[in-house]
């Protein structure tokens, strides 16, 4: 049974906790009963995608839920409750997807920009073949081309397929976004991007808006994972080689301060905030660089005192870690309560806070971080 909690910025109900007030201690997220039933094994939470004021949850069943602000269309067609259109929802609801989208397919990836959502469905041909076909869809409003639909339309309230992508005989393996750009990694090791490219975060040439998916050229290795910061993109090859490229702005030393290949070799996971990057290494250590004026990187000594880390989640200006002991620890800029109860007087650059711990009979299955939001998913252990 899934028990999802959230804290932080909640002015549009994006935490899905039943109200629209910021909270600095974890509160239970309201989910449809079908996803929390104790009678049958419930679906597993795969991904939490946070936009500026909306949140998407994706489960391994293909269920896609939304909460928060839908005035820009990022959460899909509005539903009617008591004859009133739902433009803001402080609890999670299913995204209204047409049956044609889900015919022989299920949603397998989701990501969010500030005012848009990109999701992908996968169709697997069976029983004689295992060919995968990916279709990407856009929802919401485009500021710099991040819908991937061309210069027009700039707003779509219905799931709209991104044309001519991915290329034939390829399928999606990874999808990532930040405020106004998105990158997609394919099974071939190619990486494509769209949205704001002014700082080179989508490769060359650097342009203010890349309106349709464009291949990022010149990467000297097959890409297996990508993460996005506000004006930069981090591309990684296989963990054993430690290959990594940072594209885009060098503000906060995101490019010039990147660690050596040896330091990230054997990486287990990587996350990016608006101005910094955190890498989880195979031995449970953390490597971080970039913006740190509000403690976003956690401090080298503090990172070492965490002990072995099993999972990380990096938000806009904060980060979470799940330790081997089962503690969820958070650090960074916590002005909206996303770092828990701040103990320092200034209320912003707080020290590391423990906001959750493993309970008897429950294990922490996932942590998440968004735009000043933090998430903890616990599951009953059998």
Helix (H/G/I), strand (E/B), else coil: 106: strand
With a CB cutoff of 8 Å and minimum separation 6, the contacts of 29 are: 4, 5, 6, 15, 16, 17, 91, 92, 375
Domain boundaries, the chain: 97-218
Burial class (CB in 10 A: 0-12, 13-18, 19+), 127: exposed
What sign does the dihedral 287-273-148-158 (CA atoms) show?
A: positive
**Are the C-beta atoms of residues 276 and 289 closer than 8 Å to each other?**
yes
Distance between alpha carbon 90 and the CA centroid of its chain, in Å?
A: 19
The one-character DSSP state at 162 is P
Degrees (nearest 5) of the Cα angle 23, 16, 134?
A: 130
Q: What is the Cα–Cα distance from 284 to 341, expressed in whole angstroms?
A: 26
* CA 341/CA 355 separation, integer angstroms: 9
> Largest Cα–Cα distance of the chain, in whole Å?
64
Whether the Cβ atoms of residue 28 and residue 52 lie closer than 8 Å to each other: no
Is 163 exposed, middle or buried, given 0-12, 13-18 or 19+ CB atoms closer than 10 A?
exposed
Whether the CB-CB separation of 286 and 303 falls below 8 Å is answered with yes
- H-assigned helices in 96-224: 99-102
Nearest 5 degrees, angle CA 262-CA 215-CA 147? 110
Residue 202: alpha-carbon gap to chain centroid? 18
**Angstrom distance (rounded) from CA 44 to CA 60:** 5
Note the pLDDT of residue 347.
44
User: What pLDDT does 382 receive?
Assistant: 62
SS3 65: strand
- The answer to whether the CB of 375 falls within 8 A of the CB of 4 is yes
Token digits of residue 126: 């069976």
The DSSP-derived string for 5-42 is EEEE--TTSTT-SSS-S-EEEEEE----GGGT-SSSPP
| Ranges of residues in the chain whose predicted pLDDT is under 70 | 38-39, 79-86, 125-130, 343-351, 382
pTM metric for this prediction: 0.94
Dihedral, CA of residue 184, residue 44, residue 297 and residue 221, to nearest 10 = -30
């Amino acid at each position: 049974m899934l028990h999802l909690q959230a804290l932080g910025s909640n002015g549009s109900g994006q935490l899905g906790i039943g109200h629209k007030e910021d909270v600095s201690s974890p509160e239970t997220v309201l989910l449809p009963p079908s996803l929390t039933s104790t009678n049958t094994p419930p679906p597993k939470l795969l991904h939490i995608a946070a936009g500026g004021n909306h949140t998407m949850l994706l489960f391994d069943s293909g269920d896609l839920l939304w909460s928060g602000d839908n005035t820009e269309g990022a959460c899909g067609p509005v539903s009617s409750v008591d004859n009133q259109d739902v433009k803001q929802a402080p609890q999670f609801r299913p995204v209204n997807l047409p049956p044609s989208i889900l015919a022989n397919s299920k949603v397998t990836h989701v990501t969010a920009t500030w005012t848009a959502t990109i999701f992908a469905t996968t169709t697997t041909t069976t029983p004689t073949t295992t060919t995968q076909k990916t279709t990407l869809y856009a929802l919401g409003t485009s500021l710099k081309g991040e819908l991937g639909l061309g210069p027009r339309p700039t707003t779509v309230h219905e799931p709209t397929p991104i044309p001519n992508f991915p290329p034939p005989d390829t399928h999606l393996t990874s999808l990532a976004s930040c405020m106004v750009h998105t990158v997609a990694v394919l099974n071939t090791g190619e990486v494509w991007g769209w949205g704001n490219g002014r700082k080179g975060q989508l490769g060359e040439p650097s342009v203010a808006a890349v309106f349709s998916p464009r291949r990022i050229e010149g990467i000297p290795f097959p890409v297996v994972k990508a993460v996005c910061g506000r004006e930069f993109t981090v591309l990684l090859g296989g963990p054993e080689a430690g290959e990594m490229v940072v594209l885009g702005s060098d503000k906060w030393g995101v490019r010039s301060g990147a660690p050596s290949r040896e330091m990230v070799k054997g990486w287990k996971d990587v996350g990016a905030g608006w101005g910094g990057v955190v890498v989880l290494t195979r031995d449970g250590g953390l490597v971080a660089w970039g913006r740190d004026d509000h403690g976003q990187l956690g401090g080298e000594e503090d990172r070492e005192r965490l002990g072995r880390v099993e999972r990380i989640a990096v938000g806009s200006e904060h980060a979470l870690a799940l330790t081997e002991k089962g503690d969820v620890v958070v650090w960074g800029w916590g002005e909206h309560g996303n770092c828990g109860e701040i103990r320092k007087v200034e209320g912003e650059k707080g020290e590391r806070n423990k906001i959750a711990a493993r309970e008897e009979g429950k294990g922490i299955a996932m942590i998440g971080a968004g735009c000043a939001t933090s998430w903890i998913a616990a599951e009953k252990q059998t």
